[in-house]
Chains A and B, each alone.
Chain A
Amino acid sequence: MRRSVPLLIVSITGFFMLIQYFIPLEESEWLYERILDWIIVIGCFAMLLGLWSLTYVSVNKVKRKVPGWGYNLVALSGLFFMLIVGFVPGQESLVRGSAFMHLFEYVYIPIQASMFSLLAFYIASAAYRAFRARTVLATILLVSAVVIMLRLVPLGPLSGINQWLANFILTVPNMAAKRAFWIGVGLGATATALKIMLGIERTYMGRD
């Protein structure tokens, strides 16, 4: 029951999804759409698990007064404040101008944009460390990156050549390697999916 039923479910649902691709029948379409919807519903229930985990871990840290527990308290207050202003007014909370949306606009968006923009700093420091002509491979990486970056710096008479080179890199070798990459990923993912459906790959299922 604990192990064989789930494996059976995996195989049945997996092969159904595989076969239904070839069956244009209305019934097959209907079941396909429903199954995708059910998965969304399962995801909705699962979010309770996430919420529980976050609350449980944070409350525990606050209770045990582990170093830095004050920050866990901040996270918990943020979470529950959002839940209150989100639930109490009902669906209205998603309309612009509500307390919930104000928090989104003035707290969430600025922090999110700032976190995202940290990338500008990190991309520079990563380039500094990684782009050194140590080996042939590193040199290729370096040259290709610099050619593309130079597109944005006015180079005068050289800019025409650089534009041509950048365009060539993007449309030819770049496309070639991407195709090879995607085909490889396709085969790897297909093999993994097949292993799951056949029950060969089942570590994700637990053991007892």
Chain B
Amino acid sequence: MGFFERLLKIDRRIIFTLIGIAIALPLFFNVSMFVETTPVVKGVYEVVESLPEGSKVLVSFDYDPGSMPELQPMAESFFRHCFSRNLKVIIMGLWPQGPLQANWALDVILNEPDIKAKNLRYGVNYVNLGYTAGNEVVILRMGSNIHAAFPADYYGTPLDDLPIMKGIRNFNNIDFVYNLSAGYPGTMEWVQFAADRFHAVLGAGNTAVQAPLMYPYANTGQLVGILGGMKGAAEYEVLADRPARGVRYMFSQGIAHAVVIFFVILGNVAYFATG
């Protein structure tokens, strides 16, 4: 058996090993691969950048641990950006696991030295409203009255007792809505109900699988912008000039893609060489 024939029947485990190395090894180096920023990500960044201090931002966590590697870095960099610009953050979830994901991201960001120095207070600077069942109906209800959709926050405190919720009745009192989504209910529903119906200013972060379906909404302006997968997360970090997990992971991502493409080329070379 010639070299190319053997190459065609290569043991899968060799491919597995190389992929494993391609992903693990770059994590040990603190190299940030050059990340080109795209207009769709800039769209989100610039809206947050333009909000005056004290503006209210609503973040909906519509994913579960399955999509953590892609969406968690987005959540963290978004929180960091909001808190460093002194915006008020209201968290909610359309997925049962969502509010928990938000708490994990808060744990990370609130412990970063410059954010910690701000002494942010729960209920004043940020709040977690928790999860409510009902999928897109929750958004509809929030359109008329947020207090009806979420009578109490994640910890059971009535909304009226939370200073941050004073004067917030519906989307008219929210300056920006950001949605992190891995499927249904998610960005599609936020576009249809919050943006189209109630004219909320909406941005989104999606998994790489879902993002291509949502790009059309960014073209029509229903979304101010969208972060797609780990690349989107990395771009946001570059824009905010705070390279973090997304950028670090992007190095692995790029190498892994190169390895896959390399294998595809190798397979074709071997295929044609053996006739």
Give me the interface of A with B, judged by CB distance under 8 Å: 96, 109, 112-113, 116, 120-121, 123-125, 127-129, 131-134, 142, 145-146, 149-154, 159, 167, 170-171, 174
Contacts and interface: CB of A to CB of B under 8 A. Distances in A.
Contacts of B167: none
B267 A129 contact: yes
Contact of A96 (B15, B19, B100, B215): B100
A177 to B, nearest CB: 13
Contacts of B241: none
Given A131-B267, A133-B268, A150 B19 contact: no
Given A113-B66, A128-B267, 6 more contacts: A121-B15, A121-B16, A146-B261, A150-B261, A152-B253, A152-B257
B15 A153 contact: no
Interface in B15-41: 15-16, 19-20, 23, 33-34, 36
Given A113-B66, A120-B23, A152-B231, A128 B264 contact: yes
B250 to A, nearest CB: 8
B158 interface: no
B259 A124 contact: yes
10 contacts: A120-B19, A120-B23, A120-B256, A124-B259, A127-B264, A128-B15, A133-B271, A134-B271, A153-B254, A153-B261
Given A116-B66, A154-B33, A149 B257 contact: yes
Interface string B74-113: 0000000000000000000000000010000000000000
A81 B15 CA distance: 39
Contacts of B100: 96
The residue among B257, B261, B272 with the most chain A CB atoms within 10 A of its own CB is B261
B68 interface: yes
B16 A125 contact: yes
Interface of B: 10, 12, 15-16, 19-20, 23, 33-34, 36, 65-66, 68, 100, 212, 215-216, 231, 253-254, 256-261, 263-264, 266-268, 271-272
Contacts of B212: 170, 174
Contacts of A170: 212, 215
Contacts of A113: 65-66, 68
A123 to B, nearest CB: 8
Contacts of A132: 267-268, 271
A150 B253 CA distance: 12
A53 to B, nearest CB: 26
B218 to A, nearest CB: 11
Contacts of A131: 264, 267-268
Contact of A154 (B36, B259, B261): B36
A184 B257 CA distance: 34
B25 to A, nearest CB: 14
Nearest to B234: A152
